[in-house]
């Protein structure tokens, strides 16, 4: 189908719906909405207009207008995504939920909170921590990302091994369909099999089926104690091979984060930090938490002993908040540090079955040697989700990089496929990985996804060009 352009008449209608102050047309302001955290040079595309509505009613009216006029519509949160999911590939309207950030209700009796999806994820925990509660479904970027983006990607993070990902904590959604209808799905229920599970179809749908404007999220008790272990190994293979051993012993860490030496060095340099990595080829950052401080301490000690039995050089214990934050800051800033080292890179989000984790590192070494590039690796080893990052050498020409990158990605994805893995564990498919979907899905499975998209969004206006291609074009 052909998409129509945004006309002066459409802009006037948007101003009536959302208020003129919430309709952005200045190219300097539009530029910020043309990209996410993927490469601007490779993926950015300017919207024709950005609208920042302040209510679900306004969102629905904008969607109705776009559907009637056959104008592509791209939902957006904080723009912190890593797959190009919020980039307006066909121009049209970007609808940003940044101003829809209110808490509608905190229900302490049912342990739920109802919030608009433009809220910054970390703010949720700030509001309930004094009550001994927290929202456990948050990703690593909780201080910058918005809940709506977490829902769109079914975001995970460092603590998913114990607490799970976003979908586990989304009980209900206020949802605007591609036709502009408003519907509440789910509710404050621990169990519900009343029809298809539409809530969890929407979670992870990357904004291609509609727009979640509010969510009922589940809260749980905040752990009273935690202990972090920084475990040093001589090689990445030794470190990563220790992970399945830990998981097989009945111990359930909150997180097991893997960092190879290159990742640690780069992040430490970026933060002006120091870690004892002189003899170290890789590290595991392991967190234990719980309600009983004595039990947490005992389990942390057991994990440390197990790591030593598996060949660890040293185990450092961080049992105070200052030291814990230092360690986690190094882990959280690896991606930013590599952007400073070289902004030209391909941050991947591979995921394999837990038992296949040790087989990943030799494959990365082989691919790096084959193509003459650096592939630092870090990520959530406890659930098999690793961020292998293809990084351009600063001395390499862009011509060589553009030739090598797709070949190296093909090799990486082929290796992960053979290990029973997939191309994304938490960052999503978006624009960046959609060409590879057919490799990881059978034609029947892929057609089921497309059939759902066509049924929900027959005019194909909702975040087109993401996840997979259907009919598209611009008139």
Q: Hey, what are 19's tokens?
A: 């208020």
Residues contacting 471, CB < 8 A, separation 6+: 1, 460
Query: DSSP class of residue 146?
Result: B
Residue 299 · residue 307 · CB < 8 Å: no
CA 296 to chain centre: 29
Give the position of tokens 């969004």: 457
Domain locations along the chain: 103-221, 225-335, 342-418
Predicted confidence at residue 331, as pLDDT, reads 93
For 103-221, the fitting CATH number among 3.30.465.10, 3.40.50.1000, 3.40.50.720, 2.60.110.10 is 3.30.465.10
Over residues 102-109, the mean pLDDT reads 98
What is the four-CA torsion angle of 82, 287, 132, 107, rounded to 10 degrees? 40
DSSP state string for 419-430: TT-BSBSSS--T
- Residue 338 confidence (pLDDT) above 70: yes
- Residue 472 confidence (pLDDT) above 60: no
Q: Hey, what are 89's tokens?
A: 């590939």
- Please list, residue by residue across 142-176, b when 16 or more beta carbons sit within 10 angstroms of its beta carbon and e when fewer do: beebbbbbbbbbbbbbbbbbbbebbbbbbbbbbbb
Residue 76 · residue 120 · CB < 8 Å: no
Positive or negative, the CA dihedral 133, 139, 144, 149 is negative
Average pLDDT, the chain: 94
Calculate the alpha carbon distances from 414 to 407, 420, 425 in Å.
11, 10, 16
Other C-beta atoms within 10 Å of 77: how many?
28
Give the position of tokens 């008139």: 475
Predicted confidence at residue 395, as pLDDT, reads 86
Segment 183-201, tens digit of pLDDT: 999 999 999 999 999 999 9
Give the position of tokens 């056959």: 70
Other C-beta atoms within 10 Å of 459: how many?
18
Instruction: Point out the least confidently predicted range of 21-25, 106-110, 340-344.
Output: 340-344
The CATH number that domain 342-418 falls under is 3.30.70.2740
What is the four-CA torsion angle of 320, 321, 324, 329, rounded to 10 degrees? -160
Instruction: Point out the least confidently predicted range of 53-67, 137-151, 353-367.
Output: 137-151
Angle (deg, nearest 10), helices 321-332 and 334-341: 40
Segment 339-386, tens digit of pLDDT: 888 888 999 999 999 889 899 999 999 999 999 898 999 999 999 999
Please tell me the distance from the alpha carbon of residue 417 to that of residue 86, in angstroms, as a whole number.
27
Q: Domain 225-335 adopts which CATH fold?
A: Alpha-Beta Plaits (3.30.70)
Over residues 275-289, the mean pLDDT reads 89
- Residue 473 confidence (pLDDT) above 60: no
As a whole number of Å, the end-to-end CA separation of the chain is 9
Please, is 191 exposed, middle or buried when counting C-beta atoms within 10 Å of its C-beta (0-12, 13-18, 19+)?
exposed
Predicted confidence at residue 41, as pLDDT, reads 86
pTM of the model: 0.94
Over residues 288-312, the mean pLDDT reads 96
Q: Hey, what are 463's tokens?
A: 């975040």
Same fold flag, 103-221 and 225-335: no
- Residue 475 confidence (pLDDT) above 60: no
Instruction: Identify the CA nearest to 49 among candidates 3, 7, 98, 101.
Output: 7
């Amino acid at each position: 189908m052909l998409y129509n352009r945004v006309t002066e008449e459409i802009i006037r209608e948007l101003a009536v719906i959302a208020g003129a102050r919430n309709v952005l047309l200045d190219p300097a302001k539009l530029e910020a909405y043309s990209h996410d955290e993927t490469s601007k040079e490779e993926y950015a595309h300017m919207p024709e207009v950005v609208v920042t509505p302040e209510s679900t009613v306004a969102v629905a009216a904008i969607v109705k207008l776009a559907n009637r006029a056959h104008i592509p519509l791209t939902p957006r949160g904080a723009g912190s995504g890593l797959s190009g999911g919020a980039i307006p590939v066909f121009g049209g309207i970007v609808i940003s939920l940044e101003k829809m950030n209110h808490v509608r209700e905190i229900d302490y009796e049912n342990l739920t909170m109802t919030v608009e999806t433009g809220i910054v994820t970390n703010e949720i925990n700030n509001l309930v921590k004094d009550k001994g509660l927290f929202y456990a479904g948050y990703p690593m970027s909780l201080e910058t990302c918005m809940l709506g983006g977490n829902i769109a990607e079914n975001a995970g993070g460092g603590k998913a091994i114990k607490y799970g990902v976003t979908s586990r904590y989304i009980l209900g959604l206020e949802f605007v369909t591609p036709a502009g209808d408003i519907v509440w799905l789910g509710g404050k229920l621990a169990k519900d099999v009343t029809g298809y599970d539409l809530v969890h179809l929407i979670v992870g749908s990357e904004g291609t089926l509609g727009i979640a404007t509010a969510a009922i999220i589940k809260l749980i008790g905040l752990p009273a104690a935690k202990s972090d272990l920084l475990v040093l190994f001589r090689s990445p293979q030794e470190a990563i091979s220790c992970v399945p051993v830990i998981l097989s012993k009945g111990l359930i860490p909150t997180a097991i984060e893997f960092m190879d030496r290159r990742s640690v060095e780069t992040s430490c340099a970026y933060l002006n930090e120091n870690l004892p990595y002189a003899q170290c080829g890789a590290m595991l950052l392991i967190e234990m938490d719980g309600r009983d401080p004595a039990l947490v301490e005992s389990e942390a000690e057991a994990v440390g002993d197990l790591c030593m039995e598996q060949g660890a050089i040293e185990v450092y214990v961080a049992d105070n908040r200052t030291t814990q934050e230092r360690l986690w800051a190094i882990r959280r800033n690896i991606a930013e540090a590599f952007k400073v080292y070289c902004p030209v890179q391909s941050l991947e989000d591979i995921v394999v079955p837990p038992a296949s984790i040790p087989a990943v590192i030799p494959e990365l070494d082989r691919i790096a040697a084959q193509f003459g590039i650096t592939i630092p690796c870090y990520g959530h080893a406890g659930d098999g989700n690793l961020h292998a990052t293809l990084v351009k050498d600063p001395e390499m020409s862009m011509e060589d990089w553009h030739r090598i990158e797709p070949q190296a990605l093909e090799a990486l994805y082929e290796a992960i496929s053979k290990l029973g893995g997939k191309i994304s564990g938490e960052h999503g498919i978006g624009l960046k990985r959609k060409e590879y979907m057919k490799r990881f899905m059978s034609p029947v499975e892929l057609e089921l996804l497309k059939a759902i998209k066509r049924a929900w969004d027959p005019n194909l206006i909702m975040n087109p060009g993401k996840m997979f291609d259907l009919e598209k074009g611009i008139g």
